Structure formats: structure tokens, C-alpha cells
Structure 1
Amino acid sequence: MKRMLLVVLMVGLLALTGLAAKTIGFSVSTLANPFFVTMKEGGEAKASELGLKLIVLDAQDKPETQFAQIQDLITRRVDVLIINPVDSDAIVSAVLEANAAGIPVITVTRPSNGGVVAQHLDIDNKEAGMLAAVAMAEALDGKGRVAILEGIPGAPSSVDRQAGFMDEMKKYPGIEVVASLTANYSREEGARVADDILQGNPVLDGIYAHNDEMALGAVRSAIAAGRLNEIKIVGIDATDDAIAAIKAGEMIATVQQQPYLQMEMAVIAAQRIINGASVEPKVIIPLKLITIDVLE
């Protein structure tokens, strides 16, 4: 009886002194994309290591679903919110609600265009586009016809990956961008849009996609058209499928942005906030160009 009473008293004391496990809510745009699955896994591993509870909710690329899920996390009084926005504008109302509830917010990969955010973790998306352009230009020896598969219209990552690529391409007047169409970061849409591009361009030397999912869709389309050998395909993310495609000779390059590390760092920042420490307002994750030479 005394032993049971002691256990009860200890549990109560932990709760009263705030030593019970703290909770982080992670609202992710979609788990249909392997990039964000890797991000989730990194967060779960780091949270477990630090003795934190991580609740992960998948918005399935729907802003209204993400808003409702974040409202649920606010109601559950999570200690910190980590948000990977579906849309940088649409997420603002949810961030403002978290601010009003006194729950600190961290954003990853896509920023919020309003509200108070304690820390944003991202890559330099312009640099990612530039690295992709360098890989494409080298593979084409500075001349050829290239098409682009763009991400979500208006998303900061899409805008910057396009700008970085196009700025670097100014150095290569022998390369012409003949088409640039949206495929919403989706493999299925990437394949469908690439089908249209291939049909409209009997001569095409390269396809740059703003992410690997669209690049892999382009690979599928090029294989179906019997044109993979003539088209150099470059993506961004360095997902497992993209790495396998490079090894198989189906893609020539991808840009690694380390989603596992990014989410680990976000969880560490959340712990610092919980402990009352300050965090840097913006953290840039280093990039690396991945080609067959790097993998061999």
C-alpha cells in the first residue's frame, strides 16, 4: 500500500512540476510524398530520443483539412506546433489561432506568410534550382532544348526553384527552355504533363522538375514514349526512388535537401522553446548535388 501511494505521489508531483512528457504537434502537408515521410521519421526518432511526444497529422494536401487538424492540436494543448504548410497563405489563420492560444509555432519547408513563427527551417530553394541547372547544363554540354515541371503555383519553393534554375541558365545561351508547366509536385501529374510536353516537342533534350516526384513521373513518361535515352532528367529532394533512378541511368541528378535532418532540427528547436531557450528565427539546411559520380 505504501509503495502504491508513493508511485501515485510521484506521478502527481511530476505533473505538478511540469516534468511530464511534453507534446509536439506536427501538421504535415502530405504523407503521400516520400520526402515528407522521411521528414516524419526524422521527427519521430528525435522526439523519442529526447523523451518528447510527437503527434503527426496528415493534411493530405488540403488547406481546409490542415486548418481543422491544427485547431484540434490547439484544443489538445500541445506545447509546440511544427507546421509544414500546404499553402503559405492559407496557413496564416491557423498560425494566428496558435498565437492567440499561446502555442509557439515552427514551420518547415514552406513558410507562413503571416502570424508569429518562432523558427522557420528550409533550404535555399534558389540554390537548389541553380544546382539543378548546373547538372543539366553539364549533361547537355551547354546546348539543347529543355522543359520544366513546376511545383505548386505561387508556393515559395516553386518560385525560388524556378528563379534559381532560370538565372543560372542565362549563362548557357545554347540551352532553350521550350516549356514550363505546373504539375503540383505530384508524380502522377508529372507523368501526365510530361506526356503533353513530349507530344508537343519531338526534339527535347532535358526535363528539370522542381521535385523528384515529378521527375519520376517524367521518367515514366519518357520510358513509355521510348525516349528516355535522349532526355536528361533532373529533380530535387534525393528521395530513395530518385537515387535508385540515378543508379539505373533514368535520371542524371537530384539535389539533396535532407528532410530527416531538417525535422530533427525542428524537434530540437521545439525542445529549446519548451525549456525557455531562444532559437534562431531562420535555419537553412545545406544542399548537395547528387549524381552517379557521387553515388559510385
Structure 2
Amino acid sequence: MIRPSMSRRRLLGLAAGLGLGTAALGLMTGCARGGAEAEVVVSFNDLSQPFFVAMRRELEDEAAKLGVKVQVLDAQNNSSKQISDLQAAAVQGAKVVIVAPTDSKALAGAADDLVEQGVAVISVDRNIAGGKTAVPHVGADNVAGGRAMADWVVKTYPAGARVVVITNDPGSSSSIERVKGVHDGLAAGGPAFKIVTEQTANSKRDQALTVTQNILTSMRDTPPDVILCLNDDMAMGALEAVRAAGLDSAKVKVIGFDAIPEALARIKAGEMVATVEQNPGLQIRTALRQAVDKIKSGAALKSVSLKPVLITSGNLTEASRIGEMK
């Protein structure tokens, strides 16, 4: 069995001893083949999520502007696959790896191994924690984003509110931090602001639909005032559940996180009250620019924290302005 910490030289030596070529070696290590080797490898948590689809689009646009070849890998929300992909990236000669981790702690060992092999690592959207070497991170302040959602509730319902929280991927820093922001903000509002239930839908629209349907069924006589969804895809599922339950979206309000185009359209139509913009484009473009500078000049990778913005019908133009920040 090939150990995660095994160096490129030792892996190649093993392959030679077994009579294997580098292509076979790539298959042994679970590498996602994508053409010629690239100096920058980007591993996304889950490319079935609209947020990461948007981030990939921005990545490819920035790569074209910078004239750099980038290999994109999809972890499919599987930590084991993502670890295997990162091991293979080192074997294939990547100089910088940009990663949106499936799980903040599960990827720590793989990041340490990359650094030990001379491969620089920087995370986006979700950070990597618990490793021997701190990994620079480019992303929004998720605690502040969650707090913005809660602050909206406190301001809109001064007498108090019953709140449902639908969380995103368990174990991810984004989920942990957004939940903290929501809890802190509601607690600051006082005991009249109650989280009546908190459940995960794993960042999936269909799961959020089912979870919200079950919640609304159990609370038929006393529906919640607000449903806080910690990503927009789940918010779309929650909106469908509210509609299917025969409830007015003005009575049971839904807030999302990510400011995907569909969410902004729902806000404009008056079906959804707010979402949090965390600018995936600026995140990935900033990380890629740092990666290229690292390769060209040896410049150190640095953490960058972006301020999230709560988008409502009152500042929809702000979402367009933020999207142009590249």
C-alpha cells in the first residue's frame, strides 16, 4: 500500500521496481487525469454545488488572464477522495495546491504531507485546521456572515422570533463558523429569539426540501418565523417546502448564504428576503494570483479575509458591484 507521506521520488522508484509507468502510477494514487501536468492544482469540495460551479468559472477566467495552466479536481464531497487527489497532485509535480476542503480537520494531514514535499498549499472558502503547518486561507469571514443573518432577524422582529437553522456540510469550517455567528447574534438579541430546531441538509437542495417539509409538518400549528439556510441551494429547497405547505413566504421568511444568481432572482421577486454575499470570484482569483506569484518569485502565500455583505431587496445593486471586484 502506498503511504500518504511517501515522497514523489520514492513513489516513482516503487513504480519502476514494479515495472509501471507514470500513467499507471497516477491510477494507483487515484489521480484525476486532466491532460498535461499543471503547476497549479485546484481541488474543490463538490462541483455539484452552484457556489463551487461559480468559483470554478471564475478560476478558469483568471487562469486564462494569467496564462497559467490549472488542473481542476472534484472531491465529490468525499474526504478520502480529496486526500487521494492531493497525494496524486504532488506525485505529478504540482507546485501549488489550492483546496476547498470537504472537512477542515480531515485534510490537515494531507496538507502537511504536501508541504513536506515542497508543495505550497492555500485554502479557499473553508480553512484547514489541526495540521503541523498553518495553511494560508482566502475566504469570507463566515462568523460575520452568520452574525449578519441573525442581526437581520433581531432587527426585523424586535419582539422576538422562532428560528429554524438548516446547516451545510458538517465538519466544514464554513458550517461551524456560520453556526457560531447565527448563535451569537440571536443570543445577543435576548431570550425572545429561539432556535426551535437546527438540522443539516448537507448543502443539498433536495435534502433541504425534505428536512424543511418535515419541520413544517411537525410545526403545523406554530410555524417558524424565519428559516436560516447556511447556503443558497438549501434555501431553494426550503422555499419549495414553504410553498408546498401552503404557507406565505412573507410569513415564513427564508434567508440564504452565497448570493448565487438564483437566490438574487428570488429576492428580486420577493420570494426570499436575503442572502449573504461572500464573493467566490474574488476568493479564487486572489488565491490563484498568489499561487502564480509563488511559482514565479517565491512570494509567500498569505491569508486574506473578505467581509461578507447581507444582500436584500434594498441593496441588490451591491451584489452586482461586488461581483465585479476582480
TM (norm. structure 2) is 0.80
Q: Which residue of 1 aligns with 2:156?
A: 139
Q: Which amino acid aligns with 1:213?
A: D
The answer as to whether partners of 1:108 and 1:266 remain within 8 angstroms in 2 is yes
Q: Which residue of 2 aligns with 1:268?
A: 289
Q: Which residue of 2 aligns with 1:46?
A: 62
The answer as to whether partners of 2:103 and 2:173 remain within 8 angstroms in 1 is no
The answer as to whether partners of 2:186 and 2:193 remain within 8 angstroms in 1 is yes
Identity, % of aligned pairs? 33
Q: For the residues of structure 2 that align with 1:236 and 1:151, how far apart are their CA atoms? A: 10
1:4-45 alpha-carbon deviations (Å, 9 max, x no partner) = xxxxxxxxxxxxxxxxx9621001011111111111111111
Tell me the SS of whatever aligns to 1:170: helix
Tell me the SS of whatever aligns to 1:229: coil
For residues 172 and 244 of structure 1, do their structure 2 counterparts lie closer, same or farther at Cα, with a shift above 3 Å needed?
A: same
Q: For the residues of structure 2 that align with 1:142 and 1:133, how far apart are their CA atoms? A: 14
1:170-216 alpha-carbon deviations (Å, 9 max, x no partner) = 23333221111111121111111111111111222110111111111
Tell me the SS of whatever aligns to 1:126: helix
Instruction: Indicate whether 1:201 and 2:219 are aligned.
Output: yes
Q: For the residues of structure 2 that align with 1:167 and 1:276, how far apart are their CA atoms? A: 42
Q: Which residue of 1 aligns with 2:120?
A: 104
Q: For the residues of structure 2 that align with 1:148 and 1:263, how far apart are their CA atoms? A: 28
The answer as to whether partners of 2:167 and 2:203 remain within 8 angstroms in 1 is yes
Question: How far did 1:275 drift?
Answer: 2.0
Instruction: Indicate whether 1:170 and 2:187 are aligned.
Output: yes
Q: For the residues of structure 2 that align with 1:118 and 1:104, how far apart are their CA atoms? A: 9
Q: For the residues of structure 2 that align with 1:142 and 1:281, how far apart are their CA atoms? A: 44
2:204 to 171, 186, 200: 186
Q: Which residue of 2 aligns with 1:130?
A: 147
1:79 to 95, 101, 109: 95
Instruction: Indicate whether 1:248 and 2:266 are aligned.
Output: no
Q: For the residues of structure 2 that align with 1:172 and 1:105, how far apart are their CA atoms? A: 39
Q: For the residues of structure 1 that align with 2:95 and 2:171, how far apart are their CA atoms? A: 31
Measured on the aligned residues, the alpha-carbon RMSD in Å equals 1.8
Q: For the residues of structure 2 that align with 1:156 and 1:135, how far apart are their CA atoms? A: 22
Tell me the SS of whatever aligns to 2:57: helix
Q: For the residues of structure 1 that align with 2:240 and 2:89, how far apart are their CA atoms? A: 39
Instruction: Indicate whether 1:258 and 2:274 are aligned.
Output: no
The answer as to whether partners of 2:291 and 2:301 remain within 8 angstroms in 1 is no
For residues 274 and 117 of structure 1, do their structure 2 counterparts lie closer, same or farther at Cα, with a shift above 3 Å needed?
A: farther
Q: For the residues of structure 1 that align with 2:272 and 2:155, how far apart are their CA atoms? A: 14
Question: How far did 1:148 drift?
Answer: 0.6
Q: For the residues of structure 1 that align with 2:158 and 2:268, how far apart are their CA atoms? A: 21
The answer as to whether partners of 1:43 and 1:264 remain within 8 angstroms in 2 is yes
Aligned positions, number: 276
Q: Which residue of 2 aligns with 1:219?
A: 239
Instruction: Indicate whether 1:120 and 2:120 are aligned.
Output: no
Tell me the SS of whatever aligns to 1:226: coil
The answer as to whether partners of 1:142 and 1:172 remain within 8 angstroms in 2 is no
Equivalence map 1:20-99=2 (5 Å): 23-99=39-115
Question: How far did 1:57 drift?
Answer: 0.8
The answer as to whether partners of 2:38 and 2:71 remain within 8 angstroms in 1 is no
TM (norm. structure 1) is 0.88
Give the unaligned 5+ runs of structure 2: 1-36, 318-326
Question: How far did 1:125 drift?
Answer: 1.0
Q: For the residues of structure 2 that align with 1:89 and 1:168, how far apart are their CA atoms? A: 26
1:295 to 316, 321, 326: 316
Deviates more, 1:138-147 or 1:213-222: 138-147
1:94-128 alpha-carbon deviations (Å, 9 max, x no partner) = 21231232111111111222143552112111100
Q: For the residues of structure 2 that align with 1:175 and 1:286, how far apart are their CA atoms? A: 25
Give the unaligned 5+ runs of structure 1: 1-20
The answer as to whether partners of 2:59 and 2:281 remain within 8 angstroms in 1 is yes
1:52-71 alpha-carbon deviations (Å, 9 max, x no partner) = 10110111101111122222
Q: For the residues of structure 2 that align with 1:283 and 1:126, how far apart are their CA atoms? A: 15
Question: How far did 1:235 drift?
Answer: 1.2
